[in-house]
Structures are given as structure tokens and as C-alpha cells.
Amino acid sequence: MAKTTFVGNALIGQSGGPTSVINASLAGVIEAALNAKSIKTIYGMHYGIEGFMKSMVVNLGKQSPAVIKGLHTTPSSALGSCRHKLKEEDFPQNMKMLKKFDIRYFFLIGGNDTMDTVHRVEAYCTKHGYPLRGVGIPKTVDNDLYGTDHTPGYASAARYVALSVMQSGILARDMQKVDQFVVQQTVGREAGWLAAAAALAKTDPKAAPHIILIPERPFDKNAFLKEVEAQYKKCGFVSIVCGEGITYADGTPVSASETKDKFANVEFGAMGGASVAMRLHQMISKEFGWRGEFQVTESLPMCAADRASKTDIKEAAACGRKAVQLATSGKSGVMVSMVREKGKAYKIRYETAPLSEVAVRAKAMPSSMIAKNGMFVTKQFLDYIRPLVGEMPKYVTLDMKKNK
């Protein structure tokens, strides 16, 4: 079908967990769709694909210009989200709704599962002779999406983590006579990109964080406690950041209970859902007899608009606009990809990655970005993340050697 005759309506949805900038991507899609000659109306799914199958849509073209502009800096998922994984029996109903609203351009903002949804919907429509162009728009705070240098949402969540660790690290330093350690947990089941971002907080050798634990490296309890003791002797307190998905060498989650039932199975009872941070806290307290704190943030880094990265907001919107440009120029079955150009100056160009590859792969941190002991990051990672997060604040320290 020629480009000039491929005219119809567009549909956009948001899936999975939110980010501080997911609505900037939504705004980019709306703005580009309203100016696209081949798109008559831009519809939004209310509560994602699950809501769409129930005919829950909103005409985004009827929103006021002020609301569309405001989406660029509004947190959470304005359309409402879902985590519905399409089943085979869902596809006929889904295509029925696509036909009902004359949808020819299909966009979803999300992570791996979302890219899988776009891929499967487009493939089903192609198989059944319904012309549809599907383009995915990347989103995740975990930064584990394959095919892109980084994902919109990661930079802002990384900034949230780095600022939190920096500020709480100053508190921990000053309160070391009360609490000797603090453990902070981030999201990230299979990749340590977000926990690693805490390294931006470190302004000198004694500053927080002292230890970063990530899923890419197996957790060694003895090595960990040894490093805790070494950092305490050097700094007077210990700041630890851990990804939620860290595991022992045999694959057992560190968050799992150490209690076993009569069949020698790990017991996931009342304490089975305890956080990794709590487990590490228990280990340290038991080993050294110290008092400490642990912090667990789940949704906060995903929606803290006040800490959003300016670069992240800009790039998220650009990804939305690029998705529309791709679809209206005939592209389909792809995800918008950000490619970092070589050179000292940070610069991104927008390309594509096949949905068939994105949907089934995850992106772990490369070994070159992980310290040899597996408990911190390298300069390469810091060079990678600094332009994404932006300038960090500078705080002062009293000179305790000065006297009268």
C-alpha cells in the first residue's frame, strides 16, 4: 500500500511501571500525530491494552494545548497503565477494537514485555490481512532494554538514586556515632544499572557509597562482610547500595529466607518477602553488633518529577516524535533506539531496533563497567552516566581541624 493512501487513526498506550518522563514520550507522540497528514485522530488507551480491549479510549486530539504541553513534566502514566500479557484468545478482540476505531498506527511505550505486545499485535494483523504499522517507544528505569544506548526514564531514576545516596551519605557520616551503616535498595531484578548510578554520589574516597551490589555479580557473603569491615575502618561508617535482584552463586535470591523447612527447602513464609536491604542489615548487625538503617524505594524513583533529568525529558519526547515519523514513513515492527555517537561531546541520534530482538533480550551491565571485586563501578560507567544525569550538587564540609 502506498504511503499516501495509508490513512487512518493512531493509537498510543503506556504499559508497565511508570517513569518520571513517560508522559513526555506521550506528549511527543501526540504533538507529532496532530501534525501528520496521514493520521486523522490520535486515540489513547485508558489502562493500556487491557482497557483498549474493553473499548476504553480517549481522543487525545481534543485535549487542550496546555495539557499536552504539561505532559512533558508530569510524572506517572497519564493514560493509566497495565501489566496484561496478551493471550492467544485476546487477539481477535484486540483486532476487533482496532477495526472499530480504524487504527492504522499502533504505538506502545514500555519495556521488554511491551515491545513483545507491539510485535505480536502487528504480526497477528499482518497474518489476517489488516494493514497496521506498529512502533515501540522505549521506557524503563532499569535500563535493561536491548537495542538502545539507554532508555527514557533511566536517567531521571538514576538522578533520584544518586541524589538520595549523596544526601543520605552525608547524614550517615554525621550520625556515625549513632548508626554505623546504612543500606539502600534500588529496583532492578536482573540488571544493576540503577544501583550503579549511586556511584555519582561519591565525591571523595570516604564519601558514600562505599559498596554497590548488582545482579550481574554473584553475592559472596564472606567477601561482602570483609569489605564492610574494611570500609568501616577506613571511613568510620559504611554506605551500601544494592539492587533488588542480587543472588548467591547458586541463583538463590539474597532476599530469600535463610530458614529451611523439614525438607531442606528455603522457606518463603512470613519473612520470605523480606527485602534485600533487610537481609544485608541483618547480616551486618549479626556479624559486627552494629546499629544501622535500611531504605527501600520502589515507585519513588519512577515518579519523582522534581528530580527528573532535563536530558531525559528532552530525549523521551524526541522518542515519541520519532515513533510517529517512522510509522508515517512506512516503518513497522521496530522500536525507537537511541545511539550514542563517538566523541567527547555527548550526542544522541535516533535509530531503530527490531522488535523481534528487543522483546526477547535484556541488557546487562558490561564487565568493563564493573569493578574487579564486583562491589563498585569503573570510570567507564561514570563516563557513560554523567551526561544523562546532569550536574550534581556540591555540598560543603566543615574543617574539624580548625580551632580557636
CATH number of the domain residue 297 falls in = 3.40.50.460
Sorting pLDDT into bands at 50, 70 and 90, what band is 264?
low
Question: What mean pLDDT is predicted for residues 218-226?
Answer: 97
Give the pLDDT confidence score for residue 359 in this predicted structure.
79
Mean pLDDT of the chain: 93
> Whole domain around residue 55: which residue ranges?
3-153+306-358
Higher pLDDT, 400 or 149: 149
Q: How many helices and strands, by DSSP H and E, does the chain display?
A: 13, 11
Task: List phi, psi (to 5°) of 4.
Answer: -70, -20
Say if 119 falls within a structural domain.
yes
Q: How do strand 211-213 and strand 133-138 relate by DSSP bridges? A: unpaired
Asked if 287 and 377 sit in the same domain, the reply is yes
In this predicted structure, the answer to whether residue 81 has a pLDDT above a threshold of 80 is yes
In this predicted structure, the answer to whether residue 206 has a pLDDT above a threshold of 80 is yes
Say if 402 falls within a structural domain.
no
| 1: its cell numbers | 500500500
Outline where 144-220 has alpha helix (H). 154-174, 193-196
Give the pLDDT confidence score for residue 272 in this predicted structure.
43
CA distance 14 to 114: 9
Q: 309 near 154, Cβ under 8 Å?
A: no
- Which DSSP state fits 305? G
Q: 257 near 270, Cβ under 8 Å?
A: no
Q: 196 near 209, Cβ under 8 Å?
A: no
Maximal C-alpha separation, the chain = 85
Question: What mean pLDDT is predicted for residues 102-131?
Answer: 95
Asked if 243 and 214 sit in the same domain, the reply is yes
Give the pLDDT confidence score for residue 257 in this predicted structure.
57
Give Cα 287 distance to the centre of its chain. Answer: 34
Question: pLDDT above 90 covers what percent of the chain?
Answer: 86
Least confident span in 189-193, 244-248, 262-266: 262-266
Asked if 248 and 373 sit in the same domain, the reply is yes
Asked if 161 and 135 sit in the same domain, the reply is no
CA distance 31 to 44: 13
Say if 124 falls within a structural domain.
yes
Asked if 139 and 278 sit in the same domain, the reply is no
Read off the CATH number of the domain in which 41 is found.
3.40.50.450
Say if 403 falls within a structural domain.
no
Asked if 338 and 248 sit in the same domain, the reply is no
Q: Count how many domains the chain has.
A: 2
Say if 395 falls within a structural domain.
no
pLDDT digits (tens, 9 = 90+) for 36-79: 999 999 999 999 999 999 999 999 999 999 999 999 999 999 99
Q: Is residue 142 flagged as an active site residue? A: yes
Question: What mean pLDDT is predicted for residues 369-377?
Answer: 97
Say if 171 falls within a structural domain.
yes
Sorting pLDDT into bands at 50, 70 and 90, what band is 403?
confident
Q: How far is CA 189 from CA 33, 46, 66, 233, in A?
A: 35, 28, 37, 31
Asked if 128 and 161 sit in the same domain, the reply is no
Sorting pLDDT into bands at 50, 70 and 90, what band is 127?
very high
Say if 325 falls within a structural domain.
yes
Catalytic pick among 90, 142, 144, 312: 142
How big is the CA angle at 236 (ends 234 and 240), to the nearest 5 degrees? 85
pLDDT digits (tens, 9 = 90+) for 300-349: 999 999 999 999 999 999 999 999 999 999 999 999 999 999 988 999 99
Asked if 8 and 98 sit in the same domain, the reply is yes
Give the pLDDT confidence score for residue 268 in this predicted structure.
38
Sorting pLDDT into bands at 50, 70 and 90, what band is 5?
low
Asked if 235 and 159 sit in the same domain, the reply is yes
Asked if 72 and 102 sit in the same domain, the reply is yes
| 70: its cell numbers | 504539561
Asked if 222 and 272 sit in the same domain, the reply is yes
In this predicted structure, the answer to whether residue 273 has a pLDDT above a threshold of 60 is no
pTM, two decimal places: 0.92
CA distance 298 to 34: 35
In this predicted structure, the answer to whether residue 270 has a pLDDT above a threshold of 90 is no
CB atoms under 10 Å from CB of 367, counted, come to 11
Asked if 287 and 163 sit in the same domain, the reply is yes
In this predicted structure, the answer to whether residue 2 has a pLDDT above a threshold of 80 is no
Say if 404 falls within a structural domain.
no
pLDDT digits (tens, 9 = 90+) for 275-300: 899 999 999 999 999 999 999 988 89
Q: In what order do the strands lie in the sheet with 181-186?
A: 211-213, 238-243, 181-186, 292-296
Is it true that the peptide bond before 18 is cis, omega within 30 degrees of 0?
A: no
